[in-house]
Amino acid sequence: MSAKGAETKQRMIEATRASIERRGYFGTGLNQILADSDTPRGSLYFHFPGGKDELVAAAVTRSTGSIEAAIQAADITDPAAAFTGLITLLGDRLEESGWVCGCPIATVALEVAGENDTVQRACAEVYDRWTQALRVVLRATGRADADDLAVALLALVEGGLVLAQAQRSRAPLDSVSRVARTML
């Protein structure tokens, strides 16, 4: 692929990443993605022969980064403070976006994970990576229940974001944060 082609492909993935975070799978239209990324229609099937599903899966995979980086940057000597920091970061992001940018992949996961294998695999891999990043931090603290706790902390993050978005309020994240501190 030419450098220009690679750049076009990345622009399409980025436009899709931004759209699925805000509007999910069904709310993301290919015409809008082509317009947002300033791309001719022919580029879509050239770069993504699998069409919308392949593009959305690539956008889901692209969404891994920021949360994984935040977890990996955690201070393992103080997991409670690290978790509170992650919740604060996500709460800031959600509030600043006008209560639309919660978990970047949860909307897509809930919409189509049951029925769309391509997108489901991408979502499962991202959640696995986040769980694994939490597990590494928790195992380093020597906790015997690190594996279960990693899943539960990710569930608290995901569920806290659902409730905060539904209520347009950070209060649910604050409650989650206080309870998590007692667990860590």
Contact 8, 43 (CB under 8 A): yes
- Minimum CB separation of residue 3 from a copy of itself in Å reads 34
- Minimum CB separation of residue 160 from a copy of itself in Å reads 5
- Written as six digits, the tokens of 94 are 């959600």
For a copy of itself, the closer of residues 30 and 163 by Cβ is 163
- Minimum CB separation of residue 39 from a copy of itself in Å reads 22
Q: What is the dihedral of CA 111, 117, 121, 123, to 10 degrees?
A: -10
For a copy of itself, the closer of residues 46 and 99 by Cβ is 99
Q: Report the chain's terminal Cα–Cα distance, integer Å.
A: 48
Site residues (vs a copy of itself, CB under 8 A): 22-27, 97-100, 102-103, 105-107, 109-111, 113-115, 120, 123-124, 127-128, 131, 145, 147-149, 151-152, 154-160, 162-163, 165-168, 171-172, 175-176, 178-180, 182-183
How far apart CA 28 and CA 107 sit, in angstroms, is 11
- Closest Cα partner for 6 from 47, 42, 41? 47
